[in-house]
Structure 1
Amino acid sequence: MYIPDQTPRHSVYYNYSIYPFQTPPELRGTTQTYPVVIVGAGPIGLVTALELARYNIPVQVISAEVQVSHGSRAIVFTRRSMEILQQVGIAERMLATAYPWRSGNSIYRGQRVFRLEAPHDEDDRFQPLNNLQQQYVEQYLIEQAQLNPLIELRWGSQVMGVTSFSEHAELQIDTPEGEYTLSCNWLIAADGAKSTIRQVLGLRMEGASYRGRFVIADIKIDIPWPTERLAYFDPDWNRGNTILMHRQPEGIWRLDYQLPPNETPEQALAPESLNTRIQAQLDMVGVTAPWELDWCSVYSARAMTLPDYMHDRIIFTGDAAHMLPIFGVRGANTGFQDAQNLAWKLAMLLKGIGTPKLLTTYSSERVTAAQEIIAEASKSTRFMAPPDRGFRLLRDAVLSLSLTQAFVRPLFHWRTSRPHDYHDSALNALQDDNAQFTAGPAQGMPLQNIRLADNDYLFDHLGAAFHVLYFTDQIVPVAILDAIQTLQHTGIPIQLLTIGNQQRFTDQDGHFAKRYDALTGSAYLVRPDQHVCARWKSLSADQLKAAIYQALGQGA
């Protein structure tokens, strides 16, 4: 019998709540096969559940825990993640709490040798990067899920086994009241880097696990500095290694520092070791304020992914599917994109609108994304934590030259997480005018947000549907309206958004059209996950229908 720890976790700033176990129907003798079960109530599992609920898909979420994660963990959320979190309803709460930022500094021998300014313009509702501890994000997502009658959260329920069949999957669950079997049409494994489901199936990731270990330490301290990324290379107290500092809400600062090769995690987390090293870093930067440790952990940089995220009726997402180096804030931010990509495709399949081919593109698109991220992140990882003597010589040469030679300084770029471009997706239109555009988001790219009148934004009007962005100063052609109505009558969620002087979205100065290189009659077709799958200089009804069917996996 599984008994979860119900003692609230200690924190100097966050009040942990316990979510009680409730007896499920299966332990009362009632059984059924649910459409979707998600294992894991972390940020990725919860976003997936909320995304599915937007399409009216009921979801059961299984969690062995009875409280949110221990420690700050993921703390930096990108603009793209904020756009996704806006769709599931927590972006405003995030904005009220998080620390937005856009600048990062690399420091060597007390000198700033590189500064990166992430791009931001008047059309961006969200800042490029936003700092907030993971506990708060999970709390906001849980509270949002609790408001949704389509989502059932089952706390204190540990997965003991899983079996995948051709038409369904079964979970063996242990609880404080005994064991039961849970059946579902589709099982989503969002149970993290140590995924029980991945282990039970005997699946192995491909990629590299770097030898360098880092300590994460959260301390409560008053340091009156701006919110920026601070990276210190080869400091006197930790020669050859790297230290990162991030400011968080509630007076918390995150310190990441690299360990010597032969030091064990147990040695690194011993109080004397932690206190000595944290104080050495504070002394180096001239901070004399008192501090208190809140949480600490040890991690290794890994760049690995499953080669396929779909295994019969089991689908992997987030850290259960891939493990990415934290340099460049890739973990949770990549997982949110997984969740958004998966949810609409699975929902369309369950509704009988999409085909199995549509769902398989979740794996092909997101595995490709993970592989590209790994290739990019590995460059940053090899610079931050050189894996061998050759990379260390190269890194040390860059450090030395950076004091006087500007041309090497861009090598400090940490390659921040960015939204993936599905330019090779099988869901993109086979025939459109993509190549004729000189601006705007191309096939496979996410939409660019646009600031509208009255402090309104384009993304404020996007829902759980395909969207046609149609630019015109005239009446929308009847054939286009009829085509959209016909598609809607077949159950396809599709909405028309018109842009122009006298349209739903007023574009009197032509700013919207200029950003999208659009003329009267131009159009963009946008998938439910806000990625463009077709665009035309002049749209016809037949072109629109063909592109929709292609995007639903019904194309040739």
Structure 2
Amino acid sequence: MTAYYRPPTYPATDVVPTAEGVEPLPVLVIGAGPVGLGVALGLVRRGIPVTAVEAGESVSFGSRAICLSRHSLEVSDRLGFGPELEKIVLPWTGGRTHHRDREVLHFQMPHGEHAARPPMVNVSQSEIEQVMVDALLEHPLATLHWSAEVTGLVQDEEAARVTLQTPFGERDLRARWVVAADGGRSTVRRLAGLRMQGTSYEGNYVIADIHWPSELPAERLVWFDAPSNPGSTIIMHRQPRDIWRIDYQLDAADDPAAETAEERIRDRITRHLTWLGSDVPWTLEWHGYYQARALALPDFVHGRVVFAGDAAHLVPIFGVRGLNSGMEDAETLVWQLAEVVRGRADASLLAAYSVERHAAWRQNVDNAGKSTLIMSPGTRGHRLTRDAVLALSADHPEFSHLLNPRQSSATHTHGSPLTWPAAADVPGMRPGDPLEDRRVRRRVPGAPAQETSLHAVRGHGFSVLVAGASPARAAEVVAATRRLADELAPEPVSAVIVPADTDADHPAGDIAGDVAVLDDPAGELAAAWGAEPGEMFVVRPDGQVLARTREPAMLDRVAPQLRAGTAPDPAAGQATGDALQRPVAVSADEAAREQVWLALSSGIDSVAGEGESGGSGVKAFLTRLAMVLGDRVGADEFARCLEMAARAR
């Protein structure tokens, strides 16, 4: 008997139809995967009744998406299921990449001393969903129907009517808003007549979960041209309870039907574990198959239907952005849709959701696309340069950063219509940045300061942060925050005060429930935020910085802006996030090396279809390129480069 997780099944319950003339449901969620469940949990936590329907009779089976980022752990806390989830996850901080039998990269994800959570954790999607279902079933405002398959969709100006096929017969539900979170093969998307656009990459992967007691650490382990399976790329991730996820790439000539047969999967895995020196018995628990795709709907809002997660967009699996991006979708949609459902904001606010999350998809694709070009190069040019990088990296580690998987991190909202304008050279944290969670010390009257985290202090609603605040400024900020709370109620609003003098008495020292005072004697928070004394940051429920200002009176403009769905002066804001996007934290040499890799790949592809004689073709192109580069760098440097290339294995 293994420790593999097998979810319980749930009986079908009859769906009470919503007849014409009866008040429609506030929100109907289609799909009980992580994104649909996240939306439902976030809305009921805000007092909004939700009905969710799922075609299956249980949560998903198998690991599927297994890697959760620290940002997704923050999201799980704010949606109300974080503590239970963190009991079952396996943290990890880095990984190792090998070319054949040589290690060519050992990376560590950013994990500073102030980090409140590990950078990444592993647990099967099945178990994540079960934790979410358990939390949802406990909430009195939630209704979850299993074995209810969507077969029809009709919209009008007031509501959407969804037809369901259930064990009890056909049922119609009318809802003011429908959230389509029914996955990559979305039925709702098909019924709405919509198609995603983008790129499907070459490269097919088999995925398998095995139960295998092993002493290998919890790292991302990768082998290119693995000696156990020559020509194949193999990825291994440890999960809780001695479950291992193994992904391996098929050759373009392989027959997927034959390669996904259990006997063939067992053979490939056995060869690899044997090559690793293991004779420990193992069992195959689950297997699947995937291709890398980067596709999205042009718009995520269509009438009364809002698309989220894989129903709205697909990203390549490399860099683990699918589930993590879907959790961001859920949290962003929750607070914006809640404002619309409550009647406190116009439906145009949802246009901001579409703009923001489509831009987030593009950010994820830009990073995952580079990882995909390494993991599954789809052209001759990218394959030649990938193999060159692998050959060079063992002896010349300056090239190994090109192999980094660029793991998922929180996306920004610089180009959102909600984000307040900011100068491109503003220091530190600016509007549109995700607020980094940090370990902090909260002042407790009459007791020692309490160790906690910044996001735990600010809660799951809006918050106003101020660093280096004098007593007078703190009082102004608290007063302005409470005015904002009156405007945004019932959405929670809190104030977080970092005093200029931590030892002094403070007007917020008696600390009402919506005000927190932090000890920061060394001024680390102000430095991290790039804040001048008394400067304020308005943070949205999803952790994105909405505004940065020195004037407490400016907080009075936040609620009207949300109702209008635009920043105070959209003409002065960012038309796109590109111009203000902060550069990735890499050196100038690394950035240049990446550009060389991409440019060289494209250059080879531009001649890859030509013949190999008469001065054309790839060999001739590379020879001409070498001559030109040698002329530019000089004979001595060129000789050193030739020696380096010749030594590479």
Task: Give the TM bin, normalised by the shorter chain.
Answer: over 0.9
Return the offset for 1:294.
0.2
Return the offset for 1:483.
3.5
Alignment match, 1:416: 407
Write out aligned runs for 1:342-361 (5 A): 342-361=333-352
Alignment match, 1:7: none
Return the offset for 1:477.
6.0
Alignment match, 1:5: none
Contact 2:182 2:311 in 1 (8 A): yes
- Is residue 107 of structure 2 the alignment partner of residue 116 of structure 1? yes
Alignment match, 1:497: 496
Return the offset for 1:125.
1.4
| Change beyond 3 A, Cα 1:436–1:303 | closer
Alignment match, 1:539: 551
Distance 2:69 2:10 in 1: 29
- Which amino acid in structure 2 is aligned with residue 118 of structure 1? M
Alignment match, 1:362: 353
Alignment match, 1:438: 427
Alignment match, 1:520: 533
Distance 1:283 1:306 in 2: 44
Alignment match, 1:448: 436
Distance 1:550 1:11 in 2: 54
- The more displaced of 48-57 and 350-359 is 350-359
Distance 2:139 2:123 in 1: 24
Contact 2:161 2:173 in 1 (8 A): yes
Alignment match, 2:224: 233
Distance 2:175 2:253 in 1: 46
Contact 1:428 1:550 in 2 (8 A): no
2:206 aligned to which of 191, 202, 215: 215
Report the 3-state secondary structure (helix = DSSP H, G, I; strand = E; otherwise coil) of the residue aligned with 2:471.
Answer: coil
- Is residue 280 of structure 2 the alignment partner of residue 289 of structure 1? yes
Residue deviations 1:250-282 (CA, integer Å, cap 9, x gap): 111111001121333321121221111011111
Distance 2:374 2:35 in 1: 29
Write out aligned runs for 1:127-142 (5 A): 127-142=118-133
| Change beyond 3 A, Cα 1:371–1:105 | same
- The more displaced of 172-181 and 512-521 is 512-521
Alignment match, 1:400: 391
Contact 1:429 1:551 in 2 (8 A): no
Distance 2:150 2:31 in 1: 10
Alignment match, 2:186: 195
Alignment match, 1:485: 482
| Change beyond 3 A, Cα 1:395–1:491 | closer
Residue deviations 1:420-463 (CA, integer Å, cap 9, x gap): 11112211224x6x667532x32111112221223211111233
Return the offset for 1:48.
0.9
Return the offset for 1:11.
7.7
Write out aligned runs for 1:3-402 (5 A): 13-26=4-17, 32-402=23-393
Contact 2:42 2:80 in 1 (8 A): no
- Is residue 552 of structure 2 the alignment partner of residue 550 of structure 1? no
Contact 2:54 2:147 in 1 (8 A): yes
Distance 1:32 1:265 in 2: 50
- Which amino acid in structure 2 is aligned with residue 194 of structure 1? R
- The more displaced of 233-242 and 276-285 is 233-242
Residue deviations 1:56-81 (CA, integer Å, cap 9, x gap): 11111110111110111111000100
Return the offset for 1:405.
1.9
Alignment match, 1:466: 462
Report the 3-state secondary structure (helix = DSSP H, G, I; strand = E; otherwise coil) of the residue aligned with 2:348.
Answer: helix
Alignment match, 2:521: 508
Residue deviations 1:360-415 (CA, integer Å, cap 9, x gap): 01001111111221122111112111112222111111122222222321110111
Distance 1:329 1:357 in 2: 31
- Which amino acid in structure 1 is aligned with residue 439 of structure 2? R
Distance 2:210 2:350 in 1: 44
Distance 1:462 1:236 in 2: 51
Contact 2:419 2:431 in 1 (8 A): yes
How many residues are paired up? Answer: 542
Distance 1:27 1:540 in 2: 47
| Change beyond 3 A, Cα 1:59–1:547 | same
Return the offset for 1:240.
2.8
Contact 2:104 2:400 in 1 (8 A): yes
Contact 2:16 2:171 in 1 (8 A): no
Return the offset for 1:175.
0.7
Alignment match, 2:636: none
Return the offset for 1:297.
0.6
Return the offset for 1:480.
4.2
Alignment match, 2:614: none
| Change beyond 3 A, Cα 1:479–1:409 | closer
Report the 3-state secondary structure (helix = DSSP H, G, I; strand = E; otherwise coil) of the residue aligned with 1:161.
Answer: strand
Distance 1:238 1:535 in 2: 54
- The more displaced of 278-287 and 492-501 is 492-501
Distance 1:74 1:231 in 2: 17
Distance 1:361 1:81 in 2: 21
Contact 1:216 1:257 in 2 (8 A): yes
Gaps of 5+ in 2: 442-449, 510-516, 570-649
- Which amino acid in structure 2 is aligned with residue 485 of structure 1? R
- The more displaced of 346-355 and 177-186 is 346-355
Alignment match, 1:427: 418
Contact 1:467 1:495 in 2 (8 A): yes
Q: Identify which of structures 1 and 2 has the higher relative contact order when contacts are C-alpha pairs closer than 8 Å and 6+ apart.
A: 1
- The more displaced of 198-207 and 13-22 is 13-22
Return the offset for 1:338.
0.6
Residue deviations 1:165-218 (CA, integer Å, cap 9, x gap): 222111001111111100000100000011001111221111111231100011
- Which amino acid in structure 1 is aligned with residue 551 of structure 2? L
Contact 2:7 2:61 in 1 (8 A): no
- The more displaced of 396-405 and 292-301 is 396-405
Contact 2:27 2:51 in 1 (8 A): yes
CA RMSD of the aligned region, Å?
2.1
Gaps of 5+ in 1: 1-9
| Change beyond 3 A, Cα 1:531–1:311 | same
Report the 3-state secondary structure (helix = DSSP H, G, I; strand = E; otherwise coil) of the residue aligned with 2:231.
Answer: coil
Return the offset for 1:12.
5.6
| Change beyond 3 A, Cα 1:259–1:436 | closer
Return the offset for 1:32.
4.2
Contact 2:458 2:495 in 1 (8 A): no
- Which amino acid in structure 2 is aligned with residue 470 of structure 1? V
Contact 2:440 2:518 in 1 (8 A): yes
Distance 2:534 2:115 in 1: 26
Contact 2:181 2:309 in 1 (8 A): yes
